[in-house]
């Protein structure tokens, strides 16, 4: 079925000038951009977005990193969107991401890994609604 996922182009990729290249890869892979914004998370909003990870040892660094510079947030639509987007971006750790994947091409470390992708339909809806109103994602 056609469904949706949520992505962020993270501060490392924005800072390195990869917004255009990453969006091009996403569109060429067949995803339609339903909603998109260029914004800057604060410590508070990054912490809230990643609240599911708050007991993890990397949480504090992750929140600092994600609020260190601007990001691009987007809702994407495609057949089998969540799973296909995770294949397109590759493994969380870019050193383990397959050749040709977005993280393999544009990321340097497990923290600064260029992009986020939702891990389930349920989280895609929650994460998309964190950034976009109902009207913006209609």
Q: Which is nearer to ligand CMP, 76 or 135 (CB)?
A: 76
4 in a known ligand binding site? no
Residue 116 falls in the annotated catalytic set? yes
- H or E element at residue 119: none
SS3 state at 56:
coil
Residue with tokens 């390195």: 16
What is the closest distance, in whole angstroms, from the C-beta atom of residue 92 to ligand CMP in the complex? Answer: 5
What is the closest distance, in whole angstroms, from the C-beta atom of residue 78 to ligand CMP in the complex? Answer: 18
Q: Which stretches of the chain bind ligand CMP, using CB under 6 A? A: 53, 58, 62, 92, 110-111, 113, 116
Q: Is 14 left (phi over 0), alpha (psi -120 to 50) or beta?
A: alpha
103 in a known ligand binding site? yes
58 in a known ligand binding site? yes
Catalytic residue among 76, 78, 116, 118: 116
C-alpha–C-alpha distance, residues 38 and 24, integer Å:
16
Q: Which is nearer to ligand CMP, 7 or 34 (CB)?
A: 7
Rounded to the nearest 10°, the torsion over CA 81, 37, 16, 102 is: 0
Catalytic residues: 116
């Amino acid at each position: 079925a056609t469904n949706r996922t949520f992505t962020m182009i993270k501060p490392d990729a924005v800072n390195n000038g990869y917004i255009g290249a990453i969006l091009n890869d996403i569109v060429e892979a067949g995803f339609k951009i339903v909603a998109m914004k260029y914004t800057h998370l604060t410590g508070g909003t990054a912490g809230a977005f990643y609240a599911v990870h708050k007991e993890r040892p990397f949480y504090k660094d992750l929140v600092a990193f994600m609020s260190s510079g601007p990001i691009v947030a987007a809702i994407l639509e495609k057949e089998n969107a969540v799973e296909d987007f995770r294949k397109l971006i590759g493994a969380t750790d870019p050193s383990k991401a397959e050749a040709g994947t977005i993280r393999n091409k544009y990321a340097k470390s497990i923290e600064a890994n260029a992009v986020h992708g939702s891990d389930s339909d349920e989280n895609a809806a929650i994460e998309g609604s964190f950034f976009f109103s109902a009207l913006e994602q209609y």
